[in-house]
């Protein structure tokens, strides 16, 4: 069992599940903790945003490190860092300690996701990666659904420290699991190459563009849809139900999209998802009531799932097709692209919503999404790096 691929994937699911529980558990708890330590609303916003600083700066470097030293120790370190961050949250007595905890949490998130998916790409052939990726993403969807609920319940049951202590224990268990695991032999062929070589592969660059686009689209909708529904008289509790229904839909669809990517090709399914997303946006812009918003937003997020899960598989496929095994760098770029979308989407969406309204924003957002589909369609699926460009990984 110590060297089983199935066990390795189970541990990756445990790690990503724990990471997202830690992230989502902070939603109901961290603002109250920050206020107790004297934070203003602006300071609380900065605290939440600080997560993205280390997420963006750590993703590619740690992916490159894992390509060279292996996946085991970065995963152990990532889970240990998550445990330390959550304990810092539990026992922090000043705002600087909270910021330190949030920064460490962002770094741990980067390590977990980048190295975890790189490990999956190492162990599974292209024909199986979509299925495995879908299973992992199903676990993350469940974490997003239950994380805030668990956080709120533990907060009520044992005070502000208990939710963080429970997550720290979960992270410590995951770290011990990876410490016990013997990473199975790699199945992916190729050589580890410098970061600059990986970034110059057209298919990998196109996949990163897709990720920025879908991440920005989904994160753009989070604030502006709520603002639009507020103008229709929908209260926050009912808006929360809309996002809950969408989470259920994506949890169910992730493994379905993964299997479709394996059967029909990850790039093809990603392109279909982009086209459907572009088509749905103008329709969502016409949401006229709570009931219509539920159905339209669930469909919008559901078709976006046909981009998210297949694109994860496509990133590994594009890396394999290039004749390299630098999956850590490739998924580091994926994580970086996702973070860039999270930062840009709400900012651009809020700016445009204030000036043109939700309907025009949704209509105008659709053409760029469709344009990215054309970019992906024009990329050759099997562009390999020339042998002369593949260097000894120890040479840098």
Phi/psi zone of residue 39: left (φ > 0), alpha (ψ -120 to 50 degrees), beta? beta
Q: Note whether 144 and 229 are same-domain residues.
A: no
Q: Note whether 159 and 202 are same-domain residues.
A: no
Q: Is 388 within a domain?
A: no
Last residue of a domain, one of 146, 180, 214: 180
Q: What are the DSSP calls for 300-351, one per residue?
A: HHHHHHHHHHHHHHHHHHHHHHTTB--HHHHHHHHHHHHHHHHHHHHHHHHH
Q: Note whether 130 and 82 are same-domain residues.
A: yes
Q: Note whether 160 and 250 are same-domain residues.
A: no
Tally of domains in the chain: 2
Predicted structure pTM score: 0.83
Q: Is 153 within a domain?
A: yes
The model's pLDDT over 264-322, given as tens digits with 9 standing for 90+, comes to 999 999 999 999 999 999 998 888 887 888 888 899 999 999 999 999 999 999 888 88
Mean pLDDT of all residues belonging to the chain: 85
The model's pLDDT over 122-138, given as tens digits with 9 standing for 90+, comes to 898 888 889 999 999 98
Q: Give the CATH number, domain containing residue 299.
A: 1.20.1250.20
**Which of the four pLDDT bands, split at 50, 70 and 90, describes residue 117?**
very high
> What integer is the mean pLDDT of 177-199?
74
Q: Note whether 221 and 314 are same-domain residues.
A: yes
**Which of the four pLDDT bands, split at 50, 70 and 90, describes residue 396?**
very low
List the one residue out of 369, 385, 258, 259 whose CA is nearest residue 329: 385
Last residue of a domain, one of 180, 214, 240: 180
Q: Note whether 161 and 206 are same-domain residues.
A: no
Q: Is 187 within a domain?
A: no
The model's pLDDT over 20-77, given as tens digits with 9 standing for 90+, comes to 888 877 766 677 777 788 877 677 767 777 888 888 899 999 999 998 888 999 999 9
Q: Note whether 233 and 355 are same-domain residues.
A: yes
Bridge partner list, 191: 324
Structural domain including 55 reads: 5-180
Last residue of a domain, one of 180, 206, 232: 180
The model's pLDDT over 159-172, given as tens digits with 9 standing for 90+, comes to 778 888 999 999 99
Q: Is 393 within a domain?
A: no
Span of 161-175, 202-216, 236-250, 327-341 with lowest mean pLDDT: 236-250
């Amino acid at each position: 069992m110590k060297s089983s691929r199935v066990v390795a994937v189970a541990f990756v699911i445990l790690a990503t599940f724990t990471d997202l529980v830690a992230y989502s558990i902070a939603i109901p708890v961290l603002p109250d903790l920050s206020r107790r330590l004297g934070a203003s609303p602006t300071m609380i916003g900065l605290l939440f945003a600080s997560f993205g600083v280390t997420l963006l700066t750590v993703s590619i470097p740690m992916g490159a490190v894992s390509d060279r030293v292996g996946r085991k120790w970065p995963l152990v370190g990532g889970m240990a860092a998550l445990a330390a961050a959550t304990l810092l949250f539990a026992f922090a007595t000043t705002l600087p300690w909270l910021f330190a905890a949030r920064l460490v949490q962002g770094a741990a998130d980067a390590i977990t996701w980048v190295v975890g998916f790189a490990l999956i790409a190492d162990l599974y052939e292209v024909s199986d990666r979509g299925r495995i990726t879908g299973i992992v993403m199903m676990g993350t969807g469940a974490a997003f659904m239950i994380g805030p609920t668990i956080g709120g319940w533990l907060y009520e049951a044992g005070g502000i420290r208990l939710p963080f202590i429970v997550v720290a224990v979960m992270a410590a268990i995951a770290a011990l699991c990876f410490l016990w695991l013997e990473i199975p032999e790699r199945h992916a062929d190729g050589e580890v190459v410098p970061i600059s070589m990986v970034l110059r592969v057209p298919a990998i660059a196109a996949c990163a563009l897709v990720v920025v686009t879908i991440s920005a689209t989904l994160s753009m909708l989070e604030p502006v849809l709520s603002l639009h529904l507020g103008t229709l008289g929908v209260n926050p509790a009912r808006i929360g139900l809309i996002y809950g229904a969408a989470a259920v839909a994506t949890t169910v669809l992730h493994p379905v999209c993964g299997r479709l990517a394996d059967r029909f090709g990850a790039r093809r399914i990603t392109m279909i998802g982009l086209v459907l997303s572009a088509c749905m946006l103008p329709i969502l812009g016409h949401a006229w009531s709570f009931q219509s918003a539920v159905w339209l937003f669930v469909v919008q997020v559901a078709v976006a799932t046909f981009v998210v899960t297949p694109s994860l598989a496509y990133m590994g496929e594009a890396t394999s097709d290039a004749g390299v095994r630098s999956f850590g760098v490739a998924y580091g770029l994926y994580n970086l692209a996702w973070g860039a979308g999270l930062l840009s989407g709400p900012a651009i969406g809020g700016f445009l919503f204030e000036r043109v309204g939700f309907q025009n924003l949704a209509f105008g957002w659709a053409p760029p999404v469709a344009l990215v589909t054309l970019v992906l369609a024009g990329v050759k699926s099997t562009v390999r790096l020339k042998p002369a460009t593949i260097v000894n990984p120890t040479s840098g």
